[in-house]
Amino acid sequence: MTDASGHTDGAALARPYSWTEGRTRPSVELAVEARVRTTPRGRALPHRRASAMWTVTQLCLEPRSVAEIAAHLPAPLGVARVLVADLLGEGLVEVEATLAADAGIDEPRRLIERVLSGLRAQ
């Protein structure tokens, strides 16, 4: 949290990093626009409201980009990437490809516009 003098509360920033045990690099590369969806196995996770991992699986019952996940937590993008990569490794989420290898020149622009539109809608 930011106080009246504009300083950020270190505890507020430390908490998201505790979710990843201080890790800032995901085990797999994830694009900011990559769409994440909870798998049937992830849907079956027991209710643990205080768990960031459980929260991500609930957020992704409908596909969301990695950027949207970070905004909803709220957490730095790096933390969201680590959480999603961990969930992916456990088979609790799946990540959809964002662009095909043979994508046309307009496709990346449209993708960025969709991501920005989704973030603004939050």
pLDDT in tens, 79-93: 889 999 999 999 999
Question: What gap in Å lies between CA 98 and CA 84, rounded to an integer?
Answer: 15
Domain limits at 57? 10-121
91 occurs within a structural domain:
yes
Rounded to whole angstroms, the Cα distance separating 79 from 40 reads 24
Q: In the numeric block, which tokens belong to residue 87?
A: 């969930």
The per-residue pLDDT for 64 is: 93
Could you tell me if residue 53 is inside a domain? yes
Residue 115 lies in a domain: yes
Tell me the C-alpha to C-alpha distance, in Å, between residue 98 and each of 1, 9, 49, 82, 83: 33, 35, 30, 18, 19
Pick the closest to residue 89 from 45, 42, 47 (CA basis): 42
Q: Is this structure's pTM higher than 0.85? A: no
Confidence (pLDDT) at 20: 61
The domain tally of the chain equals: 1
Residue 26 lies in a domain: yes
Nearest residue to 87 (alpha-carbon basis) of 71, 75, 69: 69
pLDDT tens digit string along 25-78? 777 888 888 899 999 999 998 888 778 889 999 999 999 999 899 889 878 888
